[in-house]
Structure formats: C-alpha cells, structure tokens
Structure 1
Amino acid sequence: MTILSLARFQFAMTTVYHFFFVPFSIGTAFVVALMESMYVHTKDESYKKMTKFWGNIFLLSFAVGVVTGIIQEFQFGMNWSDYSRFMGDIFGAPLALEALLSFFIESTFIGLWVFTWDKVKPGLHAFFIWMTSFGSLTSALWILTANSFMQHPVGYVEKNGRATMVDFGALLKNPQLWYEFGHVILNAIMMGGVIFAGLAAFQLLKKKQASDAARHIYKKTLRLGLSISLIFAIFGLVLGDLQMQYLIKEQPMKFAATEAVYTTTGKHAPWTVVGIANSKQHKEEYNLDVPYALSILSYHSTSGAVTGMNELNAQYKHKYGKNIDYYPPVNTLFYSFRIMCGVAAWIILISLIGLIMSREKSQSLYRHRWLMWLIAITTFFPFLGNTAGWFVTEFGRVPWTVYGLFTIQQSVSPNVSVASLLTSNIIYFCLFTTLAIAMIALVVRELKKDPTQTIEPKFKKVLDPFDKEAF
C-alpha cells in the first residue's frame, strides 16, 4: 500500500458512493415533478397520491446524496491539496455557484414543496418541485463544468505553477461539458424511470392482497416509469455515441483504451466483443472480433482507422515527457464501457417489452411473474451502468488529473501518511456501509405504506418562550 494508491482508493470509494445518489435524486425529482404536473393537468387524484408516495423515495435519496457530497468535498483538502492549489482558481467559481445558487434553490423549494401540500394552489405547488428539479440539474451543470475542464482545459493561463482562469465563458462553452452534461442528465432521468418502475413491479409481486386502488397506482407508476426509461435511454445512447465521436478527436487514448486497441488498425477496423489486454506487453490477447464493426461504430462507415495506444503513447512521451507511460487501465475501461452500453441496451429492451405487454387491451405483463421479476431486478441496473460510465470518464484520463497539465502523482497532499489514509479509509467505509443500510431500511419502510393513504406532515404549535402566554 502506498500513499497514492490509498488516496486514489478513498476518492474512488467516496465518488462512486456519492454518484449512486446524484443521478438517483436528479432522476426521481424529475419523474415526481412530472407526476404532479399530470395531476395538475388531469385533476386525477391517483397522480397526486403517486406524487406523495414516490416523492418520499426522492427525499431519501436527496438527503443521503447531500451527506455523501459533503464527505466527498473533504477529499480535496485531506488528500489532494497540491491538486487544490493548482486547480483552485478554476474549481472555485463553479463550486461556489453550485453551493450558493443551485443548492440554495434545491433546499429552499424542496422545503416549500414538502410543507405546503393543500396550502397553496396545485399549480404553484407543482412549480416548487420543478424548481427543485431545476436546482438539481444546475447543480450537476456546475460540477460537470469543473470536471470538463479536467478533461479538456480551456479558458486559463498558467501562472506561478497554477492554472488561473481568464475566461469563465470558455468553461461554459467547453464542448466536453455539453456532451458530458447531456449524457449524465439523460441517463439520470432514465434512472428515475427505471427505479420507480422496478419498485412498482416489486410492489405488484409482493403485495397480492393490496387494494385495487393501490394496485392501480402501482400499475400507473410502472407504465410511466417504463415510458420515461425507454425514451431517455434511447436519447442517452444517441448522445453517448456523439460523445464517443468527440473523444476520438479530443481524447484518442481514452477511446482506444475502451476498445483495447494497442496497434493502429487498418482502414477496416474490427470490433473486439470480448478480450483480455496484456498491460505489461501492451497487446491484446484472446480476443473475439467482429470485422468492420469498429469502423462502423467509430465513424458510421465501413472504413476508418483507429489510432492505437502504442502510437499515442509515443506521441505523448514526445509532447509531455518520457518519464511516465500514458496508458490508462485498459481492462477496466474495456469492460466498463461494455457494461455501460449493455445496461442501456437491456433497459431499452425490457422497457419496450414491458410497455407492449402492459397495454390496457392486453395486461398480459401482470400474468407473467418472470417478466415482472426482470423489471423489478432491473431497478439495480442503472447503479451499475452509471458507475461503469463514471469509470470510463475518470480512469480514461489516467495518468492526468487535469488532462495534459497535471498528473495524479503531482496532485497528492505532501503531508499525508499511509497510517492516516488507512484509518480514514476504514472510517469512511464503515460510515458509507451504515448509510447504505439506513437508506435501504428507510426505503423498505416507505414501500410498506399504502400509497392510497398518504398523510401530510403535522406539527405541534411551537410557542415563543418570551411570549407572555407561553407560561
């Protein structure tokens, strides 16, 4: 164990766990807002009950997401102080906007939404949840603005060994930002649809004695969730393809690693379905190829060569220095990319089948328990797909923290020790495990409730102790 490996493990652990809940809360907020808008439009009370029931799941994800986000921010000061010194001027502005603007909007309107049921007009109440959703979307925008700079630095100059921002507008116009932001948001909304559809499927499977009204709400939720997941999974797949086209030009090493291409291909590049990369000898072994397919996927043409990592590594050594190799972890990227795409394809397939078989004229879905179980189990797939996608984004940048400017080795705090990192890793792991258990227990408790018997929060009157009537 080294300081670098422990620091990287800790940041990976906190980031992955936090990213479980970022798209969770973004997606569920959007779907809950859509449910309430449907209630406002149709005056159908079942949509109001859906909004209240599933809104509690969103609130839980939001709460845990806030806690894990705070923990993650500690990482920069604890283990990555040299990185913070280098990037502070760039990172500071979007992070300040995220905290002072986006989180302020989220926290304000989420409170208004929770505590004003039947106290304001339905349209105004729906506006509160849409503003909450807007706050979560802009929060992601500011975080990804900082991350996109790390992938593709723009709008800066280097002064005294630090990156100094000279054009904030350039950060917002960074092409990397809009590919990354669009891909994250589309998949987050897809995740919201999958989660509610899957949880509704669990309820229909387990609550056989539920009332007709409750089953009606679960079925409407399932149909709505599958519709959202199908639409946004397709859009996410299309935007993901456009993002890969961009990476071929801007981060060719990352792209080559996701396809385990060590040697530059011919003009008719084959696509490796499965294989094992030999990272020591820098070659691929035991691969199963499909002729022409990589050229088609990369350039939408049967002809088009892909530059190999060996050639790119030689170019980077000439450009950035010969003291390190520039190969990312190929096997991790290769299989993470396939898991991400496989999850998207599975969600599209299961959503389409579920929608066809749950039509009002057919309703055959509810007679096939095996298919209902597939939809239910799919609840967990977006967590896997999002984590794999984040691995592609972050591991693909190795050995850089800021692409072409600052390496991972340069970023670690100079005053941390193996003992302190090992201790904090154990503490964080125990804390995250506790949070996970609490989150699961609370979600299960909410699911045990009857969606037709939603209750608004009630509060005791609090007396002012200085009021003469208080005693």
Structure 2
Amino acid sequence: MNVVDISRWQFGITTVYHFILVPLTIGLAPLIAVMQTVWHVTGNEQWLRATKFFAKIFLINFALGVATGIVQEFQFGMNWSEYSRYVADVFGAPLAMEGLVAFFLESTFIGLWMFGWGRLPRRIHLACIWLVAIGVNASAYFIIAANSWMQHPVGVEWDPVRERPQMTNFVALITNNTTLVAFPHVIAGAFLTAATLVAIVGIWWMARNTVRARQLDEAIASGDHSGVPETSSPSQIDRTPEQLRHDNATLWRPVTRMALWVTIAAGAALFITGDMQGQLMFKQQPMKMAAAESLCETETGASFSVLSIGRQNNCDSIEHVIAIPNMLSFLSDHTFDSEVKGVNELQEMYREKLNMPNQNFAPNLFVTYWSFRAMITWALGSVVVALGGLWFLRKGRSEVPHKFGRLALWMLPTPFLANASGWIFTEMGRQPWVVVPNWADADGDPLRIHMLVQDGVSNHTPPMVWTTLIGFTLLYGALGVVWFYLERKYVIAGPSEKDAQAPDVGADDDSDKPLSFAY
C-alpha cells in the first residue's frame, strides 16, 4: 500500500468512527428539548424523568463526538496538506462558520444547561437546550456545505497566480443545490437514529417491567419470593407490580410512542430527500450512480439491479441476476424510458475531456454497489421497530412481549450502520476525485477546478502514516469501548426517582458553592 491508500484508510476509519456518534447527537438534542418542553408546559414529572435520563445518553455521546471530531480537522493539514492548500480559500469559510458560530453556540449553552438545573429560571434553562439543538444542526449544515462543495464546486473562480480556486460568492457556496438536498437527508437520518434509540430503550424497559411485574404477581400469589430473580437496575429494586406497570403507562409509553412516530416521519423524509438527492447525483456525478448499479453500458429504460454477481470491480464479469425493469431510469428523472449512461461510456468521456487517457475514473464498483444497498437494508431495522412498537402499544396498551423487546434491542445498531453505509457510498462513489469537476457549470472553465485524490496527500512516508493509522484505530477502539460501557450502564440503571423532583430555583442560598455537574 502506498501513502495515498494508507491516508485514505486513515481518513475513512476515523470518519466512520466519528460519524457513529454524530447522528445521535444531532437527532437526540431536539428530542430532549421536546421532552423538556412537554414537562415545562404540562408539569408532568415523568417527562422530567425522561429528559434527565436521555440527557445522560446525549452528554456521553456529545463528549465522545467532540473528542473524535477534532482529529478530522487536523488531518486536513497533516495528511492532506496539498488538498488543504488547493481549497484553502474556499473550504476554510464554512469550517470557520461551523467552529465560530455553530460549535460555540452549542458548547456554550450545553454548559449552561448541564450546570443550570435549579439555578437558571425554567424558561431560560429550556431555551438553553433548544439553542443546543439549533447549534448541533447548524454545525451539520456548515459541514455538509463544505463537503457539498467537494462534490459540486460553486461560487468560485480560478486564480491563475496561485493556481487554485478562490471564493467569489459565499452565498452561492452555502446555498449550493447539493447542500440543499444533502442537508435534509442527513438530518432525517439523524432523527431516524435518535428516535430509534429512544424507542428501543423504551420498548426494552417496558418489556423488562412487564416480565418483572408478572414474576412478582406469581410470587405474591404463591407466597414464595425466592423464585423472583434479582435485578441490576436501581429503578426496579423494591418496586411493586403496580409501580412497574405505572412506569410503563405514564413514563415509557408516551416517550416511546413519540419516538416511534418521529421514526416513521424521519423514514418518510429519508425516502423523499433520498429520491431528490439521487436525481441530482445523476446529473452532477453520473459515474457514482452508474457504479451504484454496476451499470457498465449505457442503457435506455435502464433496470434497477436488486442483485448482481461476479467479480464486481470488473465490468466484464458482472451479471445482474435480479432486476426491476425501467426502474433505474425512473429513479434518474421520473421517466421510464430515459437514457442512463454506463461506466464505460463515462470513462471514455472523462478521459477525452480531461486529456487523461490512462486515468481510471470509475470508483470501486463492489464497495459503491453494496454500500448503497447496505444503506437501504440497514434502515429497514428502524421500520421493524416502528411498526412493531406501534402495534404493541395500540389502544392504550403498555405491556410489551419479552421477545419483541429482545428483537428491538438487536435492531439498535441498524440506523447507525445505515448512516455509516450512506457516507461510505457518498465518499467512495466520488472517487478518484477529492474535488469533483462541476461538469454542468457554464461559468469559466469547469474542468480546471478539480482535484484527484492522489494529488491531495501530504508528502509523508508510508511508515509514518501507518503509525498514526494504527494509533488512531487503537485509540478510537478504546474510546468506543468506554462509550458503549457508559451508555449501557446508564440505560440499565434507568431513570432515577430523584429526577422526578422539579428543581426549585432559589430554594437554597448556594451562591458560595461551586458549580456542580447535574448528572
């Protein structure tokens, strides 16, 4: 492996690690803000318990997300310095906006929210979590705007003196049509992830309480308590069957149903925004979409490949086993008889336009084809949870079968894997470009503003990059273990009874006491 391959592996591994955490942070902040708002409006203390319970999950995830995200910024200057020099006048603006506006907004108000329970007036404290939710989504917008410029450069012109693009229109950059379709798709994926997690935790707790309550009923009826297994959760110790069922009905059922409906809404939004994004990509990056289907030859009325076999990175050996006639053409522009260009024709077209007769412009067909299908398949896990959960909680029911609780728990990784697969498809599909030519741009010379991946790496030796790659992989692996341990610990512990006590601002004179973490 040369330095380009190792650098790509390092950036890919650290990005996927980081993006496991990002969707949960983006989606969970608004959901917690809604929970706290319901408590603020209704005074129902069960919503306060839910707010503080899921806040623990959010804060652990947020901290790990910040730690892993910092590495992403530094890699641009360390492993990809040639790329950074090339796009410095453009890429720096949205990243600066993300850091100075969005991240400062969320980091400032998340501190006030964490330490402000019982110190800030309720309305001010509620406003803090809403500002955090706005901040995390604003961060996502500026990051996606930067990434979208790499996918479709706009708002720039070529600087012949420094031989790199310079930004001429910041508004055009942040209103890039690629950004405008990618952002809602990413946010919908984040809401799907967060809502699925909230729903699964609620379903698991209802199933657990249901089993525990039945065991206690049987023990009370027989007068023998020795057969009741002990629980590791403080919230189930010394609880009566009536109290467990009350928690199911008043705490877990409302929160879970809210999350299930958000899951369905997010799934619908993903379908709509994904269709919009796909149509745009057929125009801006036709090679990516041809690779996503392993479509090697141009076709009119092209079929959508459900399953293909063969050595998938080789057009000569691919055989489409199951296909839906004319569906790929429909996905490209909503007509069934349109022409969809294949990999081979696009390859020759790019070589001629760019005068690079020996360059391979096709991405890895195997990775692009299967990551696209993995994204769709993994997202179905959330559908199973949403439909099953709403079925078992219909008509006021609050008891969940133990088997469905276990099934839902097994579905927990699926939205995270769907998000990761989507980004792998997005980034691997634009190879070999790190900045894709804007083929449709009529202003200036669109073919000049582009960059191949191999031209963007720093001049490091392979052993140096191997060292950091191995180091980051081990470090992120350790952080992943810590993240999983803490999240699992607090989910099993459950909501505390003390969390139902509304903080009384100004009840005690603690002006001389240091600020303390609320959790």
TM range, smaller chain:
over 0.9
- Does residue 426 (structure 1) correspond to residue 470 (structure 2)? The answer is yes
Residues 279 and 447 of structure 1, relative CA distance in 2, 3 Å threshold: closer
SS at match of 1:446: helix
Deviation at 1:260, TM superposition (A): 1.2
Taking a change above 3 Å as real, the CA distance of residues 49 and 2 of structure 1, as seen in their structure-2 partners, is same
Q: What SS does the corresponding residue of 1:157 show, helix, strand or coil?
A: strand
Q: How has the CA–CA distance of structure 1 residues 100 and 149 changed in structure 2, closer, same or farther, with 3 Å as cutoff?
A: same
Deviations 1:379-405 (A, max 9, x none): 211111001100111011100000020
Q: Residue in 2 aligned with 1:347?
A: 382
1:344 and 1:385 in contact (8 A); partners too: yes
**Most deviating of 111-120 and 354-363:** 354-363
Aligned to 2:330: 296
Matched residues in 2 for 1:240 and 1:346: separation? 18
| C-alpha distance in 2 between matches for 1:339 and 1:48 | 37
TM-score normalised by structure 2 residue count: 0.84
Question: Are the aligned partners of 1:261 and 1:284 in contact in 2 as well (CA < 8 Å)?
Answer: no
Match of residue 233 from structure 1:
267
Q: Is the 8 A contact 1:149 1:171 kept in 2?
A: yes
Structure 2 regions of 5+ residues with no counterpart?
Answer: 213-235, 237-242, 438-449, 515-519
Equivalent-residue separation in structure 2 for 1:305 and 1:349 (angstroms): 36
1:323 aligns with 2:325: no
Q: What secondary structure, in the 3-state scheme, does the structure 2 residue paired with 1:273 have?
A: strand
TM-score by length of 1: 0.92
Identify the range of structure 1 (341-350 vs 33-42) with the bigger mean alpha-carbon deviation: 341-350
Amino acid at match of 2:342: G
Q: What SS does the corresponding residue of 1:448 show, helix, strand or coil? A: helix
Aligned equivalents of 1:218 and 1:169: distance in 2?
45
Cα shift at 1:114:
1.1
Preserved CA contact (<8 Å) 2:207 2:401: no
Q: Partners of 2:121 and 2:391 in 1: how far apart?
A: 36
| Residues 419 and 224 (structure 1), Cα distance of their counterparts in 2 relative to 1, 3 Å cut | same
Matches within 5 A, 1:89-128: 89-128=89-128
**2: CA distance between counterparts of 1:29 and 1:453?**
23
Mapping for residues 202-281 of structure 1, pairs under 5 Å = 202-206=204-208, 208-209=211-212, 210=236, 211-212=243-244, 213-215=246-248, 216-266=250-300, 268-276=301-309, 278-281=312-315
Deviation at 1:461, TM superposition (A): 5.2
Q: Secondary structure at the match of 2:375?
A: helix
Residue 394, structure 1, aligned to residue 427, structure 2:
yes
Task: Assess, with a 3 A threshold, how the Cα gap between structure 1 residues 270 and 280 changes in structure 2: closer, same or farther.
Answer: closer
Matched with 2:195 is 193
Deviation at 1:138, TM superposition (A): 0.6
Q: CA deviation at 1:452?
A: 3.8
Structure 1 position 87, deviation (Å)? 0.8
CA displacement, residues 262-313 of structure 1 (integer Å, 9 cap, x when unaligned)? 11112x2222111135423455225322223323333333322211111111
Query: In 2, Cα distance between the equivalents of 1:334 and 1:290?
Result: 16
**Residue equivalent to 1:85:** 85
Supply the distance in 2 between the matched residues of 1:385 and 1:25 (Cα, whole angstroms): 16
Q: 1:466 is matched with which residue?
A: none
Q: Deviations over 1:29-60 (max 9, x none)?
A: 11111111111222211111100110110011
What SS does the corresponding residue of 2:302 show, helix, strand or coil? coil
Name the structure 2 match of 1:410: 455
Q: In 2, distance between residues paired with 1:454 and 1:236?
A: 38
1:360 CA displacement: 3.5
Matched with 1:305 is: 339
User: Which residue, out of 165, 169, 174, partners 2:167?
Assistant: 165
Instruction: Tell me, in whole angstroms, the C-alpha distance in 1 between the residues paired with 2:331 and 2:405.
Output: 33
| Number of the residue aligned with 1:333 | 368
Letter in 2 for 1:453: E
| Amino acid paired to 2:193 | M
How many angstroms apart in 1 are the aligned matches of 2:40 and 2:472? 43
Task: Say yes or no: does 1:442 pair with 2:444.
Answer: no
Distance 1:388 1:88, change over 3 A: same
How much does 1:88 deviate?
1.1
Contact 1:201–1:373 (Cα < 8 Å) also in 2: no
Per the alignment, in what secondary structure is the counterpart of residue 299 of structure 2? coil
> Given that residues 81 and 412 in structure 1 are in contact (C-alpha distance below 8 angstroms), is that contact kept between their aligned partners in structure 2?
yes
The alignment-based identity, stated in percent, is 35
Q: Is the 8 A contact 1:53 1:454 kept in 2?
A: no
Q: Is contact 2:296-2:315 (8 Å) kept?
A: no
Q: 1:418 to 1:237 in 2, by over 3 A?
A: same
Q: Number of aligned residue pairs: give it.
A: 459
Q: CA RMSD in A?
A: 2.1
CA contact (8 A) 1:271 1:290 kept: yes
Secondary structure of 2:203 counterpart: helix
Q: CA deviation at 1:329?
A: 1.0
Q: Are 1:52 and 1:454, in contact at CA under 8 Å, matched by a contact in 2?
A: no
CA distance in 1, matches of 2:147, 2:15: 13
Give the deviation of 1:362 after TM superposition: 4.3
Asked which structure has the greater RCO (Cα within 8 Å, sep 6+), the reply is 2
Structure 1: 5+ residue stretches without partners: 464-471
How far off its partner does 1:95 sit?
A: 0.9
Matched-pair contact (CA < 8 Å) for 1:80–1:411: yes
State the secondary structure of the residue aligned to 1:274: strand
Post-superposition Cα deviations, 1:399-439, rounded to whole Å, max 9, x if no partner, equal 0000020000000101x111111111111011001100111
The equivalent of 1:467 in structure 2 is none
Higher-Rg member (1/2): 2
Counterpart residue type for residue 187 of structure 1: G
Q: Which residue of 1 aligns with 2:393?
A: 358
**Residues 317-352 of structure 1, C-alpha deviation per residue, up to 9 Å, x if partnerless?**
011222311001111111111111223344234312
Q: Which residue of 2 aligns with 1:147?
A: 147
Instruction: Return 445-454 or 191-200, whichever deviates more.
Output: 445-454
Task: Say whether the 8 Å CA contact 1:154–1:171 is kept in structure 2.
Answer: yes
From 371, 378, 382, the counterpart of 2:404: 371
What is the rounded CA distance, in whole Å, between the counterparts of 2:319 and 2:488 in structure 1? 45
Whether the 8 Å CA contact 2:200–2:385 is kept in 1: the answer is no
State the alpha-carbon separation in 1 of the partners of residues 401 and 494 from structure 2: 24
